[in-house]
Amino acid sequence: MKAKAGPPAQKRWSRILLAGPGAICVTVIVMAGMTLWLPGGRAGIDNLVLPLVLAPLIWAVLFFHACLDRSVGRVALIALALLLTHGGLLAHKWANWPSTAKEGGR
């Protein structure tokens, strides 16, 4: 009998999805959410420039974590936690955005 050499197909595909499109989606959301909690700096634009500069690093960390961690569940949990926290920050910011009807009535 020949033993299987490698992970089952379901784990392999979930790892591929977490390392590929999952890492890109989480990177974009984290990058957008970082603008809300980073300080503005002297010129007032550091909170916009720093996420753009750090985007490749964020993607690389998520990609290599998805490729190298033994537990696919842990990879998914960390990616989901990042996605939910920064997505929640963005949703909270957009929910408090003044509407155009209120602005026009001033």
Report whether 39 contacts 52 (CB < 8 A): no
Angstrom distance (rounded) from CA 73 to CA 85: 18
pLDDT in tens, the chain (106 residues): 565 556 688 888 999 999 999 999 999 999 999 988 888 888 878 788 889 999 999 999 999 999 999 999 999 999 999 999 999 999 999 888 776 656 555 5
Tokens for 102, please give them: 């209120």
Beta strand ranges found along 4-99 (DSSP E):
none
Nearest to 13 by CA among 61, 74, 72: 72
Helix H segments across the chain? 9-17, 23-37, 46-68, 72-95, 100-104
Angstrom distance (rounded) from CA 106 to CA 74: 50
